[in-house]
């Protein structure tokens, strides 16, 4: 067993134009001041990182990493949720995702996917240059619009969709393997990998690729009414990253898990700040510790009610309070009789 590293904070939801969220230097000092030891960096945000420079120059990567260390901050991981989403896009979403790519690629679905693929490969190289062993992303989706189908899905559609998804991701996974970095898909509604069974379908389609792993976030399982503790039992060997995020699903008579097109505040299922929702974090930290998870516990703030800075300030202590320092000896070692082969043989009648 290992003691989980903590606390870390995902910067994506905090970056903006105002100090201290306007660049990586300022936000690192802010995070350190709140008690965080590491930051998880969104690779698409130029205020946080020059991805190409870090990927292409080990010297630049060392300087970048050293600058954060001087501020008292480690790098937990890089993430590429935006670019990963764009690796695989159903044509129904072309217009909605166009704003996420350079203007020269808007309206060019093939060019968008190629750009996103190149971005992921840069992420693999940048992670290696920074000495990181894991990277978080989304899978993208060809099939999400068929998740609750009417009319009925044609026979073979799901198999074809996962084959196409695997064809997109296999070359990327190979580059991550070459760089000794795990690619961790956040299991998330809206993606083709949105629960355990869809992850298994994908894993089979990429020939059980060793670099195809999981970014575990219990909040998305609460909103799907899944057992997020059993999920750890099933997939602990593939869980390489963790987002610590709370959520609640409030049963009522007008809407359910689909939300009725309401705002986040008015949905039955909604994200909350740590401790304000329904997630059993004691159970999660116990399971992760039992299975030897040794990466960072990373706060992801997405509360629909609480101010982000309050959520961040409360989050560091909340995570620290849940980390289990692994015992160095068993509780009943005081009664141990030690190793004695002769005694053992006698006790079993030998």
Return the pLDDT at 1.
82
CB 87 within 8 A of CB 120: yes
What DSSP character marks residue 272? E
- Output the CATH code of domain 5-347: 3.20.20.150
Cα torsion 90, 94, 100, 104 to 10°: value is 130
Return the pLDDT at 350.
78
pLDDT band at 340 (very low <50, low <70, confident <90, very high): confident
In this structure, the number of other CB atoms found within 10 A of the CB of residue 328 comes to: 6
Structural domain boundaries of the chain?
A: 5-347
Helical pair 281-290 and 228-235, crossing angle rounded to 10 deg = 10
- On the question of pLDDT at 37 being above 80, the answer is yes
Give the integer Cα–Cα distance in Å for 61 and 51: 9
Give the integer Cα–Cα distance in Å for 315 and 306: 12
Give the integer Cα–Cα distance in Å for 285 and 289: 6
In this structure, the number of other CB atoms found within 10 A of the CB of residue 305 comes to: 12
What DSSP character marks residue 181? -
Mean confidence (pLDDT) of the chain: 97
- On the question of pLDDT at 337 being above 90, the answer is no
Question: pLDDT per residue over 204-223, tens digit each?
Answer: 999 999 999 999 999 999 99
Give the integer Cα–Cα distance in Å for 294 and 159: 35
Determine the 3-state secondary structure of 322 from DSSP.
Answer: helix
Q: Identify the H or E element spanning 201.
A: helix 196-205
Question: pLDDT per residue over 271-323, tens digit each?
Answer: 999 999 999 999 999 999 999 999 999 999 999 999 999 999 999 999 999 99
Return the pLDDT at 339.
83
């Amino acid at each position: 067993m290992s003691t989980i590293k903590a606390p870390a904070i995902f910067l994506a939801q905090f970056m903006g134009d105002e100090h201290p969220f306007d660049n990586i230097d300022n936000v690192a000092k802010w995070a350190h001041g709140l008690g965080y030891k590491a930051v998880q960096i969104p690779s698409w945000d130029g205020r946080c990182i020059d991805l190409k420079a870090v990927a292409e120059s080990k010297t630049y990567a060392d300087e970048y990493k050293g600058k954060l260390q001087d501020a008292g901050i480690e790098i937990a991981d890089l993430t590429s949720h935006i670019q990963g989403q764009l690796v695989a896009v159903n044509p129904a979403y072309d217009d909605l995702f166009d704003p996420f790519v350079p203007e020269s690629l808007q309206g060019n679905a093939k060019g968008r996917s190629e750009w996103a693929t190149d971005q992921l490969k840069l992420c693999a190289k940048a992670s290696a240059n920074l000495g990181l062993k894991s990277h978080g992303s989304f899978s993208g989706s060809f099939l999400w619009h068929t998740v609750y189908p009417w009319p009925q899905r044609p026979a073979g559609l799901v198999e074809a969709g996962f084959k196409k998804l695997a064809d997109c991701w296999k070359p990327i996974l190979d580059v991550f393997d070459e760089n000794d970095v795990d690619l961790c898909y956040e299991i998330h509604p809206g993606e083709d990998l949105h629960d355990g069974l869809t992850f298994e379908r994908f894993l089979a389609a990429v020939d059980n690729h060793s670099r195809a792993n999981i970014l575990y976030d219990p909040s998305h399982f609460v909103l799907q009414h899944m057992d997020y503790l059993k999920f750890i039992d099933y997939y602990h060997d593939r869980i390489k990253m963790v987002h610590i995020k709370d959520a609640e699903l409030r049963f009522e008579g007008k809407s359910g898990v689909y939300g009725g097109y309401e705002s986040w505040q008015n949905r039955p299922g909604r994200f909350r700040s740590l401790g304000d929702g329904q997630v059993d974090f004691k159970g999660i930290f116990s399971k992760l510790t039992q299975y030897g998870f040794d990466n960072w516990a990373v706060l992801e703030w997405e509360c629909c009610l609480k101010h982000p800075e309050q959520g961040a300030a409360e989050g560091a202590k909340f995570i620290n309070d849940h980390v289990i320092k692994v015992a160095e000896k068993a509780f009943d070692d005081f009664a141990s009789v030690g190793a004695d082969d002769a005694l053992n043989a006698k006790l079993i009648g030998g």
